[in-house]
Amino acid sequence: MDNKKAFHAPLHPLDTEEQTQGCRHTNPDICAKYYMPKVCAFARVDKMCLAPPVSWPKQFQKLKHGKAKSK
């Protein structure tokens, strides 16, 4: 599954450095938590990802402060 645009998409009100609304992985198929119950956005009813990419906190700050480059 190709999800490259999700990492650079604008923040959702529920996004934090520790969780995201929807999946922010660029290639969810290789995520160790892919479809893991209670953790993965694809397996949760509320679509929250509780295991975003390791690079997510830095990207979150960039998006929060409007410094991220659009892809």
Q: What is the pLDDT of residues 6-59, one digit of tens each?
A: 999 999 999 999 999 999 999 999 999 999 999 999 999 999 999 999 999 999
Predicted local distance difference test score (pLDDT) of residue 1: 75
Whether 71 has a pLDDT exceeding 60, the answer reads no
What is the domain count for the chain? Answer: 1
User: Alpha-carbon distance 68 to 71, whole Å?
Assistant: 9
Q: What DSSP string runs through the chain? A: ---GGGGGSPPPTT--SS-EES---S-GGG-TTTT-TTT-TTTSTT-EESS--TTHHHHHHHHHTT-PPP-
Boundaries of domain holding 71: 1-71
pLDDT number for residue 70: 56
pTM of the model: 0.87
Query: Tens digits of per-residue pLDDT, 14-29?
Result: 999 999 999 999 999 9
